[in-house]
Chains A and B, each alone.
Chain A
Amino acid sequence: MSNTQMPNLNIGEKNQLKLERLQSTLNRACKNVPFHRNRLIEKHVMPEDIISLRDLEKLPFMERTHLGLNYPYGLFAVPLRDIVRIHTAPGTGTNPSISGYTRTDLIIWQKLVARSLEAAGVTPMDILQINLPPGLANWGRDYKDGAETMGAGVIPNSPLSLAKNLMVLRDYKTTTLVTTAAFAEQLMDHMFDNEHNPNELNLKRMVLVGEPLTLAQTKPLEERLHVDVWLNYGLSEIPGPAIAFQCSARCGMHLNDDHILPEIIDPETLKPVPYGQKGELVLTTLSARAFPLIRFRTGDMAQFIEAPCECGSPLMKMEWLPERSDNMMIISGIKISQHQVREYLKDALGTDQPDCKMEKFRHGGTESLGISLVIDDRLFSDEIKSLERLINETAEQLAEKIGVGVKLTLTEKEHKS
């Protein structure tokens, strides 16, 4: 067993380990973060009241909005001098979400990422190339660190054109590509359209991140590019990727539940659902030092898998489901808050309530956010140039804010006949 794997503990020992980590996380969070302390006091719960894993239910939930409301460092549980890395994610409101890592956090995340890569068959003999969009750049750094920890060669994330990426894949003899489904499909189409035979590549596997994929989506990639596809689950707002990963059994995903405690709740009643039923995934960090999350509502839908895994790993398993319990959209693996986009448009255009529709827009293999905005008297200008400038500037600024491309179009209000 490599040192990245969870020790093979029996169920009692495993639950003891989780309880110990949960209790010390709560002790640290309540001692160092006023937000956590005050919310526990409001609920009349103290850390010492959590005497079993079931008591987790007594704790209040954290939501994405809390990350923005406590911008920038309000949720950090260590002094800033202990922080060695700071990450920014778009967030859901006016403020971005800021998260931090201590040196110890980085060591733990490196091990977790290495664990997921090992499960995908990556060895120190492999060359791993990372290609992630700017909105997932944080994960790029984590994958780089994790792969280096296990001794694999790494080609870090850098903004390259599709043709350049293909050149690196081919010439540098990349064996493992970490990317999004959108890029993988774009690459596949580009290769076939430009008569590049997949045999030119040394690629053995793709680790796809950012969104749940069906067999219908992964199968063409596996067959046409001669690779194995492995899914990883992570959160872009907080550290980091590979919270859950596929193993050789290819049945659901293993959760790193020795470091992150998962629950599945009914998004309506907020009560845990019976084991194995569908619900919203809620995560509590068990070893994070800088940025503890306590019952963080991910908005992702999932269900636990009870049967032990063929691969023999003692880690819990879940099925990651395509639907969501919130109105976030996933574009190129990045979660986009429709509420945040509307708020931004409100400020940028000076309208009270922008009338718009949002959808995933796909062009030439790349995904962006398509917004069709209903033009009203306030926005209307008889000068086409000034309208065009307003659209372009707004789209550019919004793209910078949310980390994905934006295509903004104006439409006329539909008149009811």
Chain B
Amino acid sequence: MLRIKNLKCSYGNIMAVQGASLSVNNGELISIIGANGSGKSTLLLAICGLLTSWEGEIIFKEKNIKGLSPPSIVKSGISMVPEGRQIFSPLSVIDNLKMGAYTMYRKGMKKEVSDDLDMIMELFPILRERANQLAGTLSGGEQQMLAIGRALMARPQLLVLDEPSMGLAPKIVDMIFGIIKNLRKEGVTILLVEQNARAALKISDRGYVLETGKIVLQGSAEELLVDDDVKRAYLGRDYGDFYDGR
């Protein structure tokens, strides 16, 4: 579904991604793991069209997405759940969800949007309870559910999640990963970027390890979970080590 070849992304003189190649096949849940500054989020920004100056190839459903605007990329089937949720705090939960279906609204697909809203409320019952509440008043976990729900409102073929566990309590992280796992079971193709490597790999089919902009390892989740290098670099730390001081 998604094939990236030799992707290079720079911020001025700093090359954040240095020739990375990776792929996501239909129905797969793929994790990209790596430390802070390894280039994970930059890679996602390039996929979603939010970073324009990159070299290489990003092929989504056999089409090169180079030069496409972010809305066109959403229309082509890629939706992103950004790092830190980025929900619209002053808007209500329901309005946040409707914003996710912006491109469908513009096409006049009101009935479909209404059905999708029901589907999201089924998936996250707490959002139905909080439908008219301002999004900024939700808890961290609820905000993350809202951000995922908003991305799903665009009916994505590829759901891209950037650090969905960030800033959440361990129990809530488990719940969010449970939700992601269920989405994959229902056939959503998912690309997940995470520092919480163990939690991510446990629900993934395959994973890539990104180090200073280069992919240094990839394999099945089963293989990566027993890899000593991965364990030492990413699995040894507990949740607190990742987020303390951020």
Query: Residues of A with Cβ closer than 8 Å to B?
Result: 12-13, 16-17, 19-21, 23-24, 27-28, 31, 47-48, 51, 78-79, 81-82, 102-104, 107-108, 287, 289
Contacts and interface: CB of A to CB of B under 8 A. Distances in A.
B21 A16 contact: yes
Give the interface SS of chain A, mostly helix, strand, loop or mixed: helix
B98 to A, nearest CB: 37
A104 B21 contact: no
Interface stretch (B32-40, B80-88, B225-233): B225-233
Main secondary structure of the interface of B (DSSP, over half): strand
Q: Which of A12, A24, A107, A287 counts the most chain B CB atoms within 10 A?
A: A24
- Residue picked from A17, A20, A47, A78, most chain B C-beta under 10 Å: A20
B215 A27 contact: yes
Q: Contact residue range for chain B?
A: 20 to 34
Contact of B218 (A13, A24, A81, A107): A24
B5 A103 contact: no
B25 A13 contact: yes
22 contacts: A13-B3, A16-B3, A17-B23, A20-B208, A23-B19, A24-B214, A24-B218, A27-B211, A27-B216, A47-B19, A48-B8, A48-B19, A51-B6, A51-B19, A81-B228, A103-B226, A103-B227, A103-B228, A104-B223, A107-B222, A107-B223, A289-B227
Nearest to A106: B226
Interface of B: 3, 5-6, 8, 18-23, 25, 208, 211, 214-219, 222-224, 226-229
A24 B222 CA distance: 18
Nearest to B3: A16
Contacts of A108: 223
Contacts of A19: 5, 21
Contacts of A28: 216-217
Contacts of A51: 5-6, 19
A19 B21 CA distance: 8
Nearest to B56: A51
B19 A104 contact: no
A287 B219 contact: yes
A16 to B, nearest CB: 5
A24 B215 contact: yes
B167 to A, nearest CB: 30
Given A17-B23, A24-B214, 8 more contacts: A16-B5, A16-B21, A23-B20, A47-B214, A48-B8, A48-B18, A107-B223, A108-B223
Residue of A19, A23, A79, A289 contacting most chain B CB atoms (<10 Å) = A23
A47 B6 CA distance: 11
Most chain A C-beta atoms within 10 Å of own C-beta, residue among B3, B22, B211, B228: B228
A82 B230 CA distance: 11
A78 B229 contact: yes
B228 A24 contact: no
Contacts of B226: 103-104, 107
A212 B216 CA distance: 36
